[in-house]
Structure formats: C-alpha cells, structure tokens
C-alpha cells in the first residue's frame, strides 16, 4: 500500500516537474496576422507602414513569466508602405538596404518589473535590437497574454497554447545608420514601432 502511495507521489512529482518546463512558442504565423507597424511622424510628412514577415521563438513558462527569453525576427523585405515609390526607396541602399540586411531582430535576454494578473503579464524586456547590421541594447515594455489550450481555435486539429506579445517602443533611425543625413522635418528621426504577434506551442 505504502509503495503505491510513494509511486503515485513520485509520478505526480515528476509530471509536475515536466509541466514546469518552459514552452517554446513559434511565432511563424500560418495565418499571416502577426505584424509590426512603424510610424514616423515628421512635421511635414507622416509615414506609416507595416511588416508581416514575422518569425522567431520565445521560451515562456506560465509559472515563471520572468524567465521568458527569445528572439523575434522580422524579414526586412516584408516592410510595406502604401506608396510603391516610397517602398522602393525605403528598401534601397540609402535607407534599409534590405538586399544586404535581410533581418530585423530583437533578442530578449531577461524580463524586469514583471507583473502578472491572471493570464496577462506586463514587464520590461531587456535585450538587443539589430537593424541594418547595427545592434543596440534596449529595454522595451511588453505585454504577454497566455492563452491556454486556444491553439485549436486558430489551427484546427492542433492542440496547444498561444502566447500573444504586444509592445510599443521608439527607436532613432540615426542610431542605426538609416539615411542619417535625411532632413528630419520630412522623415522623422524617431520611429515608433508597435509589435502585435502571437506564437503557438503545440502539445
């Protein structure tokens, strides 16, 4: 009898240990909904566009959200503005040079000031952003929403969880050598980035 109890406890303990492992969420969205919006608000001109070529992985543990790490990558080629000529210039060598610098990435190394309320966690992600070959350490605000067992609602026949990440922060194009000589009254030096992405962890 005692042996059975010990065995049951052992199995339960091992199972809970296994459950405590962080899940890896894949942000390559088959629905193509994930996006990063950029906004440059100069006195003479406002430029708004978006990118949907999002990929990357994030390790997240619902029990320990502070231990979240991962990398989100945006394909530079997927950056789009509604004016085709402007898009051509933006992709060109003077601006983003997407032929040479194919990826824009943010590597989150740790989370600070973590606050969790239900399935929502707000924090500051400390990491490195790489844009046009220039890497810069940054701390950005993030909101993580853990949607347990919701993967099947998006991808039928697939069971698992979803993790939604939202973040809005500002970078300076001059910091990344994006045509630093361009007049700031026409093209703002400050770029506001808004990331809205969902990752999936299948079970």
Both tokens assigned to 32: 């193509």
Both tokens assigned to 170: 């500002």
**Under rule CB under 8 A, residue 126 binds other proteins:** no
Judged by CB under 8 A, which stretch of 15-23, 108-116, 118-126, 144-152 contacts other proteins?
144-152
Contact pick of 162, 178, 187, 191 for other proteins (by CB under 8 A): 162
Backbone angles phi, psi at 183, to 5 degrees: -60, 130
> Which C-beta is closer to other proteins: that of 176 or that of 198?
198
| Cβ proximity of 40 and 50 under 8 Å | no
Helices (H), the chain: 2-19, 84-91, 151-154
CB of 196 vs other proteins, minimal distance in Å: 5
**Under rule CB under 8 A, residue 105 binds other proteins:** no
> Which C-beta is closer to other proteins: that of 37 or that of 75?
37
Contact code string over 35-74 relative to other proteins, x by CB under 8 A: x-x-------xx---x-x----------------------
Q: Is beta strand 160-172 parallel, antiparallel or unpaired with respect to 134-147?
A: antiparallel
CB-CB neighbours of 78 under 10 Å? 16
> Which C-beta is closer to other proteins: that of 137 or that of 149?
149
Dihedral angle, C-alpha 118, 73, 94, 126, nearest 10 °: 50
DSSP one-letter code for 68: -
CB of 51 vs other proteins, minimal distance in Å: 9
CB of 130 vs other proteins, minimal distance in Å: 23
Tell me the Ramachandran region of residue 191: left when phi exceeds 0, alpha when psi lies from -120 to 50, beta otherwise.
beta
Residues in contact with other proteins by CB under 8 A are 31-35, 37, 45-46, 50, 52, 80, 82-84, 86, 145, 147, 150, 153-154, 162, 164, 196-198
């Amino acid at each position: 009898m005692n042996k059975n109890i010990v065995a049951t406890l052992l199995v339960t303990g091992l199972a809970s240990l296994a459950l405590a492992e962080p899940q890896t969420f894949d942000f390559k969205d088959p629905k193509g909904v994930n996006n990063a919006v950029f906004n440059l608000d100069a006195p003479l001109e406002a430029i708004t566009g978006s990118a949907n070529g999002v990929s990357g992985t994030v390790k997240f543990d619902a029990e320990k959200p502070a231990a979240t790490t991962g990398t989100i990558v945006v394909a530079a080629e997927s950056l789009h503005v509604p004016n085709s000529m402007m898009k051509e210039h933006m992709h060109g060598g003077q601006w983003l040079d997407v032929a040479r610098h194919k990826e824009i990435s943010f590597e989150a190394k740790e989370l600070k000031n973590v606050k969790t309320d239900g399935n929502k966690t707000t924090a500051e992600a400390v990491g490195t952003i790489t844009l046009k070959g220039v890497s810069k350490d940054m701390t950005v605000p993030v909101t993580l929403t853990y949607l347990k067992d919701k993967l099947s609602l998006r991808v039928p026949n697939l069971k698992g969880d979803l993790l939604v990440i939202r973040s809005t922060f500002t970078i300076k194009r001059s910091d990344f050598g994006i045509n630093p000589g361009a007049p700031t009254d026409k093209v703002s030096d400050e770029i506001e980035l808004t990331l809205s992405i969902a990752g999936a962890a299948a079970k």
